[in-house]
Structure 1
């Protein structure tokens, strides 16, 4: 896909500019492996009404940083909506708190209407209830997602910090790893060129190394077993942050990883190394082992930050 084509069927998608994907995604593998998981998106619950009265697909939040009303939910940011197997096109609500993260409702028989797709507030609810799924994918509301033009690092900070503070104070924190990843073509951060390792030869889209060329080598075969263009990469250098009691302390890893290292991490930890197939880059992405230190005891003392300033809160607030 090129540009911001919305997932087909999502009630918030732009009409006439929609598409669906085939093949498997990491949610499919987790479901098949009976591993609890959920995608939690800011603005996904269309029944919620914000304080300014906005609701549904138009629910929006005013950002005092960019001085605009920003729509909370952006359908083309919801990765699982592009696959029929993991989509919740009507934004149906989960049947119960206990069903969040699971394919079936609490009765163990009825398919849960949410189909693993929830609102960000649902994530906070399951954390408070100590019902956190094994794997959670979180997307902040648009005004806090750090996207250039309608968000800002300060808004982003005020979205991320409360979530991290909350998780650090849970008994489950000992077994938690937070991975913060960014879009490879947007954001308020340094972009450094990385020599492409995967080739793509689309006559219109690829121009990096000459007309119709980006990178070298044969493109990976896709879900139909044929080479697929449009995936020249890796892209530019972007931030990647691990927050965990098991993270290396004050360390910067120099192992080259990609966004595909995230599904690989999930596959290695919960799915016995099963890969997506169909040309997915998880098969060749480097693992995240260099970010962790499992030889030292976990560092369980919370480091709570002020969402406004980003500075540590007084020590008394961190106990």
Structure 2
């Protein structure tokens, strides 16, 4: 008789029970009909442990074993201490050297950086993240990161407004980002559970991988993570022509300006941009069933005007991190890459709108049945150009506004983060497919029907949001959605 290891059996049992909790029932179907509005708020770049690792009742940092947090060097041996926090190629003098090889508080001595202060950005790319995960061991985050030991940093998030909402309603502590890598790809996975294609990209820009499927390093890359951050070859496109990171759309808003004397709504055609995408999105399936929906973006109207300026004019809004700029981030706008939403189309006018339109719709009680909201860059919590606290306050104020509106009694709000931002998390991602899922991220479910004071351990990923929307409105399922992931209904109690 074959003996099943206890850990394997326990994992299988948990997965089986989670699957049972997701089986359709007449009670759940009737309950879902009480929800007339689903609002998805998509913040930026935080692993679960980075913000909610100290949340009571959650699978947090206290549960991490030495095997789950000990970081290894490029030679596979444990690091004697964490690499420096890098500032370029040199250690950042603002951070102490030789931090112990384990998680540490960013907002406590000896670092004392509060949630109101932005840290530097950290690498969070498609291929490097897979190396960081290292088959589920999560032990190469520090060695791969261009930020060195910062990847192991976390906060006490208990003073955050959204923490309070999570305490009152439901926090999902087993929710994973849909795809490996960065925001660009994970925004596609939110709306289509798909990866954009760019078959014409030159071979020189396509990734070169080693026998493990990891991105090759350049000859000058240091032998040890203690001597400097890794230096990789190009990895923005897969060898077979998938676009994996921060490419630009062929129309405004775009980092690519319009051509001199050309149609200002479009990017300069002489500069390579992502070709218009044609995969089916959740927008397509919603529209096919005549379900109203809108993607709202902070500073959308300003960015449209900014993008249509003379190409020689400096951008005031798009990718502008100046203190007085909203910092509109183009690659956080997935529908703007699809042919169906090109300039001049009816779908663009109906479905891509500004944050001010969202506020007006809430106040009038006229919100569409499905609403996505992407905060502007200065309020999205992204390391490097935004702090955590400002964005958290902004989102919490929006939730408060919704709860005070006439919409509240029939609304479900899902707040999550597009990806981990390069930060470590101790929970290994579940098996998936070529594209993900990636690292665990926070997710909060708020509704009159959400379970109260509940930590939901059901296994989810970003495509679970699509599963919930699809199930509620009887839509055609998108092919990339992972059926092994829950559909978020375990977070609700419709008997309330």
Instruction: Place the TM-score, normalised by the shorter chain, in its bin.
Output: 0.5 to 0.7
Residue number in structure 2 paired with 1:14: 256
Distance 1:257 1:17, change over 3 A: farther
RMSD: 2.9
Measured in 2, the distance between the counterparts of 1:17 and 1:292 equals 46
Query: Which of 32, 46, 53 does residue 302 from structure 2 map onto?
Result: 46
Secondary structure of the 2:335 match is helix
Asked if structure 1 preserves the Cα contact closer than 8 Å seen for 2:451 and 2:493, the reply is yes
Query: Which of 385, 388, 395 does residue 150 from structure 1 map onto?
Result: 385
Secondary structure of the 1:186 match is coil
Give the deviation of 1:112 after TM superposition: 6.5
Measured in 1, the distance between the counterparts of 2:305 and 2:430 equals 45
Residue number in structure 1 paired with 2:316: 58
Measured in 1, the distance between the counterparts of 2:317 and 2:365 equals 28
Query: Which of 197, 200, 205 does residue 431 from structure 2 map onto?
Result: 197
Residue number in structure 1 paired with 2:246: 4
1:244 has 2:444 as partner: no
Correspondences of 1:136-215 after superposition (within 5 Å): 136-186=371-421, 191-200=425-434
Q: Deviations over 1:130-186 (max 9, x none)?
A: 211000000011111111111111111231022111100111101111101112241
Distance 1:294 1:56, change over 3 A: farther
Asked if structure 2 preserves the Cα contact closer than 8 Å seen for 1:48 and 1:56, the reply is no
Count how many residue pairs are aligned between Structure 1 and Structure 2: 234
Residue number in structure 1 paired with 2:5: none
Where relative contact order (Cα < 8 A, 6+ residues apart) is larger, the structure is: 2
Residue number in structure 2 paired with 1:274: 476
Say which one has the larger Rg: 2
Measured in 2, the distance between the counterparts of 1:116 and 1:261 equals 22
TM-score, normalised with respect to structure 1: 0.66
Dislocated runs of 4+, deviation >6 Å: 47-50, 60-63
Give the deviation of 1:292 after TM superposition: 0.8
Query: Which structure 2 segments of 5+ residues have no match?
Result: 1-242, 258-270, 307-312
TM-score, normalised with respect to structure 2: 0.43
Give the deviation of 1:74 after TM superposition: 1.2
Secondary structure of the 1:166 match is helix
Measured in 1, the distance between the counterparts of 2:296 and 2:484 equals 27
Asked if structure 1 preserves the Cα contact closer than 8 Å seen for 2:419 and 2:439, the reply is yes
Residue number in structure 2 paired with 1:33: 289
Give the deviation of 1:196 after TM superposition: 4.7
Residue number in structure 2 paired with 1:124: 359
Query: Which structure 1 segments of 5+ residues have no match?
Result: 93-110, 201-230, 298-319
Correspondences of 1:206-245 after superposition (within 5 Å): 231=435, 233-245=436-448
